[in-house]
Homo-oligomer: A and B are copies of this chain.
Amino acid sequence: MATIDDVARRAGVAASTVSYVLSGKRSISPTTRSRVEAAIAELGYHPHAGARALASARTNVLALMVPLPMAPGTSTLRPDVDVNVLMQFVAGIAPRARSQGYDVLLVTDDDPSAAERVWAGSTADAIIAMSVQADDPRTEALARAKMPAILIGLPEDPHGLSCVDFDFENAGRLAVRHLAGQGHRHIVMVGPPATTFERRMSFAERIVRGMSETSASAGVEFSVVPTAARRDAVAESLAPVLDREDRPTALVVHHEAALPSVLDVLRDRDWRIPGDISVVAVAPPSIAEQQAAPLSSIEVPAQAIGATAVDMAMAAMRGEGTSETRLVRASLTNRGSTASPSS
List chain A positions with a Cβ less than 8 A from chain B.
Answer: 1, 44, 46-54, 59, 61, 64, 68-70, 72, 75-77, 83-84, 86-88, 90-92, 94-95, 98, 103-109, 116-118, 120-123, 230-232, 260, 264, 284-286, 289-292, 303
Contacts and interface: CB of A to CB of B under 8 A. Distances in A.
B88 A46 contact: no
B48 A68 contact: no
Given A75-B303, A285-B75, A123 B108 contact: no
Nearest to A72: B95
A267 to B, nearest CB: 9
B103 A103 contact: no
A72 B303 contact: yes
Given A122-B1, A264-B231, A88 B108 contact: no
| Leading 7 A-B pairs by shortest Cβ distance | A50-B53, A46-B120, A75-B286, A72-B95, A94-B108, A46-B121, A50-B54
Contact of A84 (B51, B54, B83): B83
A282 to B, nearest CB: 15
Contacts of A72: 91-92, 94-95, 303
* Copies of chain A in the complex: 2
Given A94-B108, A103-B123, A230-B290, 20 more contacts: A1-B120, A46-B116, A47-B121, A48-B121, A49-B50, A49-B53, A49-B122, A49-B123, A50-B53, A70-B87, A70-B91, A75-B289, A77-B290, A91-B108, A98-B109, A104-B106, A230-B291, A231-B292, A232-B292, A260-B260
B49 A121 contact: yes
Contacts of A54: 48, 50-51, 54
Contacts of A232: 292
A230 to B, nearest CB: 6
Contacts of A118: 103
Nearest to A2: B120
A55 B108 CA distance: 27
Contact of A75 (B49, B121, B284): B284
Contacts of A264: 231, 264
A88 B76 CA distance: 11
Contacts of A50: 49-54, 59, 122
A187 B20 CA distance: 67
Given A84-B83, A91-B68, A77 B286 contact: yes
Nearest to A1: B120
30 contacts: A1-B122, A46-B116, A46-B117, A49-B53, A49-B121, A50-B122, A53-B53, A64-B106, A68-B87, A68-B90, A69-B87, A70-B87, A72-B91, A72-B92, A72-B94, A72-B303, A75-B285, A75-B289, A87-B87, A90-B106, A94-B106, A94-B108, A98-B108, A103-B118, A104-B108, A105-B106, A231-B260, A231-B264, A232-B292, A264-B264
